[in-house]
Structure 1
């Protein structure tokens, strides 16, 4: 390893480790790391700051920002609040049905809006339901754990659900339709397998009180609490129309036109904000997720500096030189991707690993590499409570809810409470990622 490679990799690795250890300072840590990477890159003769900034995938940031604004418009319509209330009615206050229905609901919501928005909308309704049901610590830990994992799977199911898939779409690694038809069935299989194992092996609902009279009272209380929740159709119709037009453009616009996914997002979200009138103007002024933009911009700068040293190419060549079949090389890469994501979280891992994935995709079917990588990153982000940004938010919201079990003891949802669900979810989703990649390689022969 050369001096520039060692120095810039140390800055990248140090920033990623520190932001994982101190998530409350993650933006300052990563922006500081990016500044150091620019300084070191300039002094070591790797690249100037201007060159590094020129290599930032600005189209990905445009997609991220515009989809975030569109998510806020959907949140303002209250349609997902209604979905949460409908999920409550459908579950019938039965413990295992609550687990299944809310997991599926979070999968659906997270495939359209980002995970943080989905949790903010749905989790308070679930907390209110748990207070009325009467529950146990073990059940709540598994229920909230599976809800978080369902968020991750829903985000990986579509190209607009979460950052790793958005990065694939923005960089042109896969088209919208190609990713959707391959990733959505795989993530659904992973969710179904997880729920089946939980139902027949884990059985978290065992020991939770089940009383038909209490269940009826719970359903009636939830209906009364949310009786005044109404969907704002004046916002929903233009927002849904804009999203439908964007999906149609992603699916059917010929590539020869040069209208990329970032321009489709820009035009679609802009039209939705204009039709929302005053709310649209307010969101355009104050609704930008500056934290996410700064974090990812800084991350892209550090990754660009390391890429300039040729380190990623050397890692790819080392992987190629492993004395095993190409299919097993891909399996090794996917397992490492899942484990690294568990430590560093999805955004940093995907940004760095995609550089190696592109080298593998030059020798193997691209969809096997890219969808397998997206699923592995999803597995890693489900391993620990801190591996996804939605984890700490779920912990904070649960602490504020002041939940108690049937004996009056406070219910927690921390790192170790989530860990059993995280380990099981990681194992199942990682297995699905490997199975998908191997089947795709076999079908391509």
Structure 2
């Protein structure tokens, strides 16, 4: 590795340690790391703010901003209280039943939408359910964000890396459904079972609190019916825009911003009220993180690691699939999986072309998708949805530490990869 590559790795590692140990606020660590990358000329302003491959991903930032505004307006209608009471009553107030219901809903929604939008919508309901039942919301939030990353793996639009993979590999929406969705269904069943053990300390509840919730009328929670219908109408348009963005050729970030602007325009909500629930700290943290990871891309660190991985597997298809799965999982737990997949996909395309158009060579794409998407569950900064939930939890007064998340996430990520390996082997090498 060159001197600039070593220096960029040292800066990134230093910032990562500060984030993991929480010696300083994660926003300060990310911004400090980004500032050092710029000051040491490991990246530059043009790259950091304008490069599609090595700069701030403004699509992610503005997607989050638009959805935060929409969710903030919906919050004023009382809809989340309605859903919280209805969900608690449907589950008869039993914590594990509530958690299982929420993780299945989250996974399903993340397959149809992007996983960040899903956790933005489910988190407010979770806070309210846990508050009503006197439960700690942290285990529920962690389980939901892990489910969102699992569910998002199933479709082309569920997780941003899948869009990159589809574009480079010439894969369709149906290809993802056929090759990944069946495994994700099995993985979700295993995840729900594991949740019973993983979060076992969270399932103690107060029968008196449950009785109080069962006596509530969810309809009384709605405070502004006119705003509710306006919000639901706009949200429906936004969700349709997400699903059809490839057809209408409009980025999800643009759809979210248009929806936010339309909702503020047609409702009586003030600008101050609309912006009150925006997680500015989370958005700034993402910007700093993108700049740091972008410096790793610009100096060639990620490219070097990816090329070394490709060179190590040689011409052995099975070894290539397993190495790619494991390597992608590890790297996606540390750096954002979007620039990693953007860098790795051309190398995978070369490997696929070199091995010929066979089920074994095509499985490299599914190995990359599974490793990058599921590996993001391992740490608190491994996926965008993880960072968003940590920000929401801190704002709600129930902060989740880096290691508190990671000690659960690394178990789920490890289990996911262990199950993905035999799935890839059986489907593409034994049964092909």
TM range (shorter): 0.7 to 0.9
Query: What per-residue deviation string (whole Å, max 9, x for no partner) do you get for residues 209-240 of structure 1?
Result: 9xxxx96x654411445654126432333333
Aligned partners of 2:324 and 2:371 also within 8 Å: no
Report the counterpart of residue 307 of structure 1 in structure 2. 297
Aligned partners of 1:152 and 1:381 also within 8 Å: no
Query: What per-residue deviation string (whole Å, max 9, x for no partner) do you get for residues 131-162 of structure 1?
Result: 7xxxxxxxx7xx95365223321255349x9x
1:89 to 1:225, Cα distance in 2 relative to 1, 3 A: closer
Q: How far apart, in 2, do the equivalents of 1:395 and 1:293 lie?
A: 14
Q: Provide TM-score, normalisation by structure 1.
A: 0.71
Give the unaligned 5+ runs of structure 1: 132-139, 401-412
Query: Shift of residue 127 of structure 1?
Result: 4.3
Question: For residues 136-215 of structure 1, what are the structure 2 equivalents within 5 Å?
Answer: 145=139, 147-158=141-152, 165-166=159-160, 181=177, 186-197=183-194, 204=200
Q: How far apart, in 2, do the equivalents of 1:189 and 1:260 lie?
A: 31
Aligned partners of 2:234 and 2:263 also within 8 Å: yes
Aligned partners of 1:242 and 1:272 also within 8 Å: yes
Q: How far apart, in 2, do the equivalents of 1:30 and 1:276 lie?
A: 36
Report the counterpart of residue 123 of structure 1 in structure 2. 127
Aligned partners of 1:150 and 1:191 also within 8 Å: no
Q: How far apart, in 2, do the equivalents of 1:292 and 1:322 lie?
A: 38
Q: Does 1:316 align with 2:306?
A: yes
1:231 to 1:151, Cα distance in 2 relative to 1, 3 A: farther
Report the counterpart of residue 230 of structure 1 in structure 2. 222
1:73 to 1:302, Cα distance in 2 relative to 1, 3 A: same
Aligned partners of 1:87 and 1:105 also within 8 Å: no
Q: Residue 231 of structure 2: SS of its match in structure 1?
A: helix
Q: How far apart, in 2, do the equivalents of 1:88 and 1:360 lie?
A: 48
1:395 to 1:332, Cα distance in 2 relative to 1, 3 A: farther
Query: Shift of residue 109 of structure 1?
Result: 7.3
1:16 to 1:239, Cα distance in 2 relative to 1, 3 A: same
Q: Does 1:375 align with 2:378?
A: no
Pairs aligned (count): 402
Query: Shift of residue 330 of structure 1?
Result: 4.1
Q: How far apart, in 1, do the equivalents of 2:2 and 2:323 lie?
A: 25
Question: For residues 246-325 of structure 1, what are the structure 2 equivalents within 5 Å?
Answer: 246-252=238-244, 258-279=249-270, 281-323=271-313, 325=316
Query: Shift of residue 320 of structure 1?
Result: 0.7
Alignment partner for residue 46 of structure 2, among 44, 50, 62? 50
Query: What per-residue deviation string (whole Å, max 9, x for no partner) do you get for residues 384-440 of structure 1?
Result: xxx75636865996979xxxxxxxxxxxx9899878755643333333554666678
1:241 to 1:13, Cα distance in 2 relative to 1, 3 A: same
Q: Residue 40 of structure 2: SS of its match in structure 1?
A: helix
Q: How far apart, in 2, do the equivalents of 1:20 and 1:417 lie?
A: 10
Q: Residue 313 of structure 2: SS of its match in structure 1?
A: coil
1:197 to 1:416, Cα distance in 2 relative to 1, 3 A: same
CA RMSD of aligned residues (A): 4.5
1:262 to 1:12, Cα distance in 2 relative to 1, 3 A: same
Report the counterpart of residue 59 of structure 1 in structure 2. 59
Q: Residue 317 of structure 1: SS of its match in structure 2?
A: helix
Q: How far apart, in 1, do the equivalents of 2:266 and 2:166 lie?
A: 30
Give the unaligned 5+ runs of structure 2: 353-361
